[in-house]
Protein backbone atom coordinates (compact mmCIF):
# COMPACT_ATOMS: atom_id res chain seq x y z
CA UNK A 1 0.00 0.00 0.00
CA UNK A 2 2.83 2.36 0.94
CA UNK A 3 4.65 1.51 -2.28
CA UNK A 4 1.61 2.44 -4.37
CA UNK A 5 1.36 5.78 -2.58
CA UNK A 6 5.03 6.53 -3.29
CA UNK A 7 4.55 5.68 -6.96
CA UNK A 8 1.49 7.95 -7.24
CA UNK A 9 3.34 10.79 -5.47
CA UNK A 10 6.32 10.39 -7.80
CA UNK A 11 4.10 10.43 -10.88
CA UNK A 12 2.40 13.61 -9.59
CA UNK A 13 5.78 15.31 -9.25
CA UNK A 14 6.68 14.26 -12.79
CA UNK A 15 3.39 15.59 -14.17
CA UNK A 16 3.92 18.87 -12.28
CA UNK A 17 7.40 19.29 -13.77
CA UNK A 18 6.04 18.45 -17.22
CA UNK A 19 3.24 20.99 -16.84
CA UNK A 20 5.70 23.66 -15.71
CA UNK A 21 7.94 22.92 -18.70
CA UNK A 22 4.99 23.13 -21.09
CA UNK A 23 3.89 26.43 -19.55
CA UNK A 24 7.43 27.84 -19.78
CA UNK A 25 7.66 26.72 -23.41
CA UNK A 26 4.31 28.32 -24.26
CA UNK A 27 5.30 31.63 -22.61
CA UNK A 28 8.69 31.63 -24.36
CA UNK A 29 7.09 30.90 -27.73
CA UNK A 30 4.58 33.72 -27.25
CA UNK A 31 7.33 36.21 -26.32
CA UNK A 32 9.46 35.24 -29.33
CA UNK A 33 6.46 35.47 -31.65
CA UNK A 34 5.62 38.93 -30.27
CA UNK A 35 9.17 40.17 -30.84
CA UNK A 36 9.13 38.89 -34.43
CA UNK A 37 5.76 40.55 -35.09
CA UNK A 38 6.96 43.87 -33.67
CA UNK A 39 10.12 43.70 -35.80
CA UNK A 40 8.15 43.15 -39.00
CA UNK A 41 5.66 45.86 -38.06
CA UNK A 42 8.44 48.43 -37.65
CA UNK A 43 9.61 50.64 -40.53
CA UNK A 44 11.90 48.66 -42.78
CA UNK A 45 14.77 50.18 -44.76
CA UNK A 46 16.36 48.70 -47.84
CA UNK A 47 19.53 49.54 -49.74
CA UNK A 48 19.18 50.78 -53.31
CA UNK A 49 20.38 47.40 -54.60
CA UNK A 50 17.20 45.78 -53.27
CA UNK A 51 14.89 48.23 -55.06
CA UNK A 52 14.23 47.58 -58.73
CA UNK A 53 11.82 49.17 -61.22
CA UNK A 54 8.63 47.38 -62.04
CA UNK A 55 4.89 47.60 -62.53
CA UNK A 56 2.84 48.06 -59.39
CA UNK A 57 -0.82 47.41 -58.72
CA UNK A 58 -3.10 47.53 -55.72
CA UNK A 59 -6.10 45.34 -55.01
CA UNK A 60 -8.91 47.24 -53.33
CA UNK A 61 -12.38 46.24 -52.24
CA UNK A 62 -14.04 47.49 -55.42
CA UNK A 63 -11.62 45.82 -57.82
CA UNK A 64 -8.12 46.13 -59.20
CA UNK A 65 -6.46 49.56 -59.46
CA UNK A 66 -3.52 50.16 -61.79
CA UNK A 67 -1.21 53.07 -61.13
CA UNK A 68 -0.99 55.47 -64.11
CA UNK A 69 2.81 55.81 -63.83
CA UNK A 70 5.73 53.63 -62.71
CA UNK A 71 5.80 55.63 -59.47
CA UNK A 72 2.58 57.24 -58.31
CA UNK A 73 2.38 59.15 -55.02
CA UNK A 74 -1.04 60.07 -53.69
CA UNK A 75 0.04 62.60 -51.09
CA UNK A 76 3.11 64.57 -50.14
CA UNK A 77 6.64 63.58 -51.13
CA UNK A 78 9.76 64.72 -49.29
CA UNK A 79 13.37 64.69 -50.46
CA UNK A 80 15.75 64.61 -47.50
CA UNK A 81 18.29 67.48 -47.85
CA UNK A 82 21.70 66.07 -48.83
CA UNK A 83 25.03 67.20 -50.24
CA UNK A 84 25.67 67.20 -53.98
CA UNK A 85 25.31 63.63 -55.34
CA UNK A 86 26.88 62.04 -58.41
CA UNK A 87 26.52 64.07 -61.60
CA UNK A 88 24.16 62.24 -63.95
CA UNK A 89 21.50 63.69 -66.24
CA UNK A 90 18.09 63.36 -64.65
CA UNK A 91 19.24 63.50 -61.01
CA UNK A 92 17.08 65.64 -58.70
CA UNK A 93 17.93 66.40 -55.06
CA UNK A 94 17.36 69.00 -52.35
CA UNK A 95 20.60 70.82 -51.58
CA UNK A 96 21.23 70.97 -47.84
CA UNK A 97 23.50 74.04 -48.05
CA UNK A 98 21.55 76.24 -50.49
CA UNK A 99 18.08 75.00 -49.44
CA UNK A 100 16.79 74.60 -52.98
CA UNK A 101 15.88 71.85 -55.43
CA UNK A 102 18.65 71.11 -57.91
CA UNK A 103 18.43 69.22 -61.22
CA UNK A 104 21.29 67.82 -63.26
CA UNK A 105 20.28 68.76 -66.80
CA UNK A 106 22.32 68.77 -70.01
CA UNK A 107 25.51 67.91 -68.09
CA UNK A 108 25.26 70.70 -65.51
CA UNK A 109 23.51 71.50 -62.23
CA UNK A 110 20.58 73.91 -62.52
CA UNK A 111 18.00 75.20 -60.10
CA UNK A 112 14.83 73.16 -60.67
CA UNK A 113 12.59 76.04 -59.60
CA UNK A 114 13.50 79.43 -61.03
CA UNK A 115 13.23 82.76 -59.24
CA UNK A 116 9.89 84.34 -58.53
CA UNK A 117 8.39 87.34 -60.34
CA UNK A 118 7.54 90.30 -58.15
CA UNK A 119 5.82 93.61 -58.68
CA UNK A 120 2.37 95.08 -58.77
CA UNK A 121 0.43 96.62 -61.62
CA UNK A 122 -2.59 98.77 -62.33
CA UNK A 123 -5.63 97.27 -63.98
CA UNK A 124 -5.78 97.64 -67.81
CA UNK A 125 -2.12 98.68 -68.10
CA UNK A 126 0.03 96.42 -70.27
CA UNK A 127 2.92 95.29 -68.03
CA UNK A 128 6.59 95.81 -68.79
CA UNK A 129 9.75 94.35 -67.30
CA UNK A 130 11.29 97.05 -65.11
CA UNK A 131 14.06 94.72 -63.92
CA UNK A 132 15.16 91.14 -64.55
CA UNK A 133 12.65 89.80 -62.00
CA UNK A 134 10.02 92.53 -61.61
CA UNK A 135 7.04 93.74 -63.62
CA UNK A 136 5.53 97.23 -63.65
CA UNK A 137 3.25 99.47 -65.73
CA UNK A 138 4.07 100.50 -69.27
CA UNK A 139 2.62 103.56 -71.05
CA UNK A 140 0.20 101.30 -72.98
CA UNK A 141 -3.36 101.21 -71.66
CA UNK A 142 -6.29 99.11 -72.88
CA UNK A 143 -9.85 100.37 -72.48
CA UNK A 144 -12.57 98.16 -73.93
CA UNK A 145 -11.64 97.87 -77.63
CA UNK A 146 -9.23 100.84 -77.64
CA UNK A 147 -5.52 101.06 -76.98
CA UNK A 148 -4.07 104.22 -75.51
CA UNK A 149 -0.39 105.12 -75.56
CA UNK A 150 0.35 107.63 -72.82
CA UNK A 151 -3.39 108.08 -72.29
CA UNK A 152 -6.06 106.18 -70.38
CA UNK A 153 -8.88 107.54 -72.56
CA UNK A 154 -8.34 106.27 -76.11
CA UNK A 155 -10.66 107.94 -78.62
CA UNK A 156 -10.43 105.13 -81.15
CA UNK A 157 -8.80 101.79 -81.76
CA UNK A 158 -5.44 103.47 -81.17
CA UNK A 159 -4.87 106.83 -79.47
CA UNK A 160 -1.41 108.33 -79.00
CA UNK A 161 -0.89 111.26 -76.65
CA UNK A 162 2.30 113.23 -76.15
CA UNK A 163 3.72 116.71 -75.63
CA UNK A 164 5.83 116.75 -78.81
CA UNK A 165 5.61 114.58 -81.91
CA UNK A 166 2.99 112.06 -80.90
CA UNK A 167 3.78 109.89 -83.93
CA UNK A 168 7.28 109.90 -85.37
CA UNK A 169 8.26 107.93 -88.49
CA UNK A 170 12.02 107.64 -88.75
CA UNK A 171 13.70 107.01 -92.13
CA UNK A 172 16.58 104.58 -92.40
CA UNK A 173 18.47 106.29 -95.25
CA UNK A 174 19.36 109.81 -94.09
CA UNK A 175 18.23 109.75 -90.49
CA UNK A 176 15.31 112.08 -91.19
CA UNK A 177 11.94 111.68 -89.59
CA UNK A 178 8.30 112.62 -90.11
CA UNK A 179 6.22 113.95 -87.26
CA UNK A 180 2.44 113.83 -87.15
CA UNK A 181 0.65 115.73 -84.39
CA UNK A 182 -2.16 118.14 -83.57
CA UNK A 183 -1.45 121.48 -81.96
CA UNK A 184 -3.44 123.23 -79.24
CA UNK A 185 -5.89 124.69 -81.78
CA UNK A 186 -6.61 121.26 -83.25
CA UNK A 187 -4.56 121.72 -86.43
CA UNK A 188 -3.12 118.53 -87.86
CA UNK A 189 0.50 119.01 -88.87
CA UNK A 190 2.87 116.73 -90.74
CA UNK A 191 6.44 117.83 -91.15
CA UNK A 192 9.90 116.41 -91.63
CA UNK A 193 13.09 117.23 -89.79
CA UNK A 194 15.15 117.27 -93.00
CA UNK A 195 15.54 120.70 -94.63
CA UNK A 196 14.56 119.29 -98.04
CA UNK A 197 11.16 118.06 -96.91
CA UNK A 198 7.93 120.00 -97.16
CA UNK A 199 5.61 120.56 -94.26
CA UNK A 200 1.93 119.76 -94.54
CA UNK A 201 -0.68 121.35 -92.32
CA UNK A 202 -4.41 120.73 -92.39
Band the pLDDT of 124: cuts 50, 70, 90.
very high
pLDDT at 155 over 70: yes
Examine the domain organization and report whether 140 and 170 are in the same domain. no
pLDDT at 141 over 90: yes
pLDDT of residue 85: 92
Examine the domain organization and report whether 123 and 107 are in the same domain. no
Band the pLDDT of 74: cuts 50, 70, 90.
confident
Range of the domain at 123: 118-157
35, part of any domain: no
Examine the domain organization and report whether 92 and 124 are in the same domain. no
Q: What whole-number distance in Å separates Cα of residue 188 and Cα of residue 186?
A: 6
Number of domains the chain contains:
3
Question: Residue 89's closest CA among 70, 102, 75, 73?
Answer: 102
Per the CB < 8 A criterion, the answer to whether 200 and 191 are in contact is: yes
The domain boundary residue, chosen from 53, 84, 114 = 114
Examine the domain organization and report whether 110 and 144 are in the same domain. no
Question: Residue 138's closest CA among 126, 130, 147?
Answer: 126
54, part of any domain: no
pLDDT of residue 75: 80
Q: What whole-number distance in Å separates Cα of residue 168 and Cα of residue 116?
A: 37
Examine the domain organization and report whether 183 and 202 are in the same domain. yes
101, part of any domain: yes
69, part of any domain: no
How does the average pLDDT of the chain come out, rounded? 72
Amino acid sequence: MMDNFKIIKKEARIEKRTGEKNLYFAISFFVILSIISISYAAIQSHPASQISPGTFGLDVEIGNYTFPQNLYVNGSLRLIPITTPIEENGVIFYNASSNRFMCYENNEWKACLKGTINGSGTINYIPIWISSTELGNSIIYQSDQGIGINTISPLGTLSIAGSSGQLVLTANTDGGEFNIFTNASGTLAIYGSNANTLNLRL
